[in-house]
């Protein structure tokens, strides 16, 4: 059941990305270009998503466990360190250069566009590099 619900939620998310224009790198670039031909429409998408989250999250956490899992998966640390800041900078630079972030990048795979395939491929390389680094760090600590 968990897989089916994940698929349904991912599909709804992808449709929302498409309808809002977030899968269109040109629209995203125009949103990010506040000194040029700025398009503020994506701000409404973000405000809508944040509003729903602010209402739904406290309601969901009233439950002892999620509907389709045995526990809530919360972030274990809230510390701001160099690694977090570097990740934010790299994410922002990548988003600014391409107009694509991970969610829309994965949704764009359905188009089989070479840019989407390349973006997600390199995103996978980056994720593999980070996971490999974390694994090496744990092995060295032992």
Q: What mean pLDDT value characterizes the chain?
A: 86
pLDDT digits (tens, 9 = 90+) for 11-43: 998 898 889 888 888 888 898 888 988 899 989
pLDDT band per the 50, 70, 90 thresholds, residue 6: confident
CB neighbour list of residue 107: distance below 8 Å, 6 or more residues apart: 13, 14, 17, 18, 23
Q: How far from chain centre, in Å, is Cα 29?
A: 17
Residue of 27 and 75 predicted with greater confidence? 27
Residue 131 has pLDDT above 80, yes or no: no
pTM: predicted TM-score of the whole model, two decimal places: 0.69
Q: What is the pLDDT of residue 93?
A: 86
Q: How confident is the model at residue 141 (pLDDT cuts 50, 70, 90)?
A: low
Give percent of the chain with pLDDT exceeding 70.
92
Report yes or no: 115 and 34 within 8 Å, Cβ to Cβ.
Answer: no
């Amino acid at each position: 059941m968990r897989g089916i619900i994940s698929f349904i939620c991912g599909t709804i998310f992808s449709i929302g990305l498409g309808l809002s224009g977030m899968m269109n790198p040109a629209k995203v670039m125009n949103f990010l270009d506040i000194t040029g031909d700025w398009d503020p429409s994506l701000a409404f998408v973000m405000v809508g998503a944040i509003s729903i989250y602010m209402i739904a999250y406290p309601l969901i956490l009233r439950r002892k466990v999620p509907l389709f899992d045995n526990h809530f998966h919360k972030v274990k640390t809230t510390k701001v360190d160099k690694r977090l800041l570097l990740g934010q900078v790299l994410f922002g630079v990548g988003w600014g250069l391409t107009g694509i972030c991970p969610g829309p990048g994965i949704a764009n795979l359905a188009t089989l566009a070479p840019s989407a395939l390349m973006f997600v491929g390199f995103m996978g390389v980056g994720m593999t590099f980070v996971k490999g680094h974390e694994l090496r760090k744990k092995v060295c600590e032992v």
